[in-house]
Amino acid sequence: MNDTALVLTLAAAVAAGTPLALAALGELLTERAGVLNLGVEGMMLLGAVAAFLAADGSGSPAVGLLAGMLTGGALAAAHAFLSVTMRANQIVSGLALVIFGTGLSTFLGQPIEGRPLAARLGGAAVPVLADLPVVGRILFQQDLVVYATWVLALLVLGYLGRTRAGLSLRAVGESPATADAMGVRVAAVRYAHTIAGGLLAGAGGAYLILARVPSWAQAATTNGIGWIALALVVFASWRPLRVLAGAYLFGAALRANFALQAAGVRGVPAEVLAMLPYLLTIAVLVALSAGDLRRRVGAPAALGVPYVRDER
């Protein structure tokens, strides 16, 4: 592979990793609150179709992005009600979101199947920095959502480690009974951060359709990357900057198939290369499936456990 092809591939990996980073940062906030939401794939799909319909109708990609976020947030609010208020099984509730989101997006997407979207996000090169050799093309000739994702990762990092609300969030995820005794409203914290996670998952789905996928196609819009985002949170040990780095690693894996084919590499079947990101996802989940290992890498102690105040 020549230098130009490598640079273009790395630039594409950054763009491909952006929806992963958005969804994974949202899931990180949700899981830090002790709520496990497996419905990321469903929220991304429904966010994508909502973004398409809103952007197509209004002619504005910003409106589409907002619609995708609100749709993801609405689904997450339903999950919060079931998980926090009704204390339902969080795994079952999350899987129900995937089924519901997939079914509803299929229904809403039927009239627009295969239709291209004209109102798409354009590039926004950063002056001066975009002209830097190599790194300028990879990092600074992207779009505004890519740059906003970098800022978001830093904000989440500061929020978790430097603010009172972030410390309360971490306390709720580790020991909700202790947090409750200290005056933290456990249910409110879990609701707020579950919905915030849904907003970001919806933004990830919206970004896919507004910047990455040229037209609506139910089977090929998210391609299962919602599940990769779930694994990415574990892979990153629930740390925001690692989520960002891991998202670009997975983005490179997603682009490896196209890059190697373009470089003329024929020794590895294309099907195997297409499987690479999903094999990496399985490997991460298997390696971190042991409870002791999860705790060592930073999993919230109360993750997936409903809190009942009377049981303090």
Q: For the stretch 77-105, what's the b/e string if a residue is b when 16 or more beta carbons lie within 10 angstroms of its beta carbon?
A: ebbbebbbeeeeebeebbebbbebbbebb
Residue holding tokens 């809103």?
A: 54
- Domain boundaries, given as residue ranges, for the chain: 3-7+18-223
Distance CA 130, CA 14 (A): 15
User: Quick one: pLDDT at residue 255?
Assistant: 76
Note whether 134 and 7 are within 8 A (CB): yes
Copy the structure tokens of residue 231.
């694994």
Distance CA 257, CA 272 (A): 9
User: Quick one: pLDDT at residue 3?
Assistant: 60
Percent of the chain with pLDDT over 70: 88
Cα separation values, 58 from 43, 51, 63, 201, 204, Å = 22, 10, 7, 22, 20
Note whether 56 and 215 are within 8 A (CB): no
User: Quick one: pLDDT at residue 41?
Assistant: 95
User: Quick one: pLDDT at residue 277?
Assistant: 75
User: Quick one: pLDDT at residue 204?
Assistant: 96
Distance CA 289, CA 274 (A): 24
User: Quick one: pLDDT at residue 263?
Assistant: 57
40-86 residue pLDDT tens: 999 999 999 999 999 999 999 999 999 999 999 999 999 999 999 99
Residues of the chain with pLDDT under 50: 312
User: Quick one: pLDDT at residue 190?
Assistant: 98
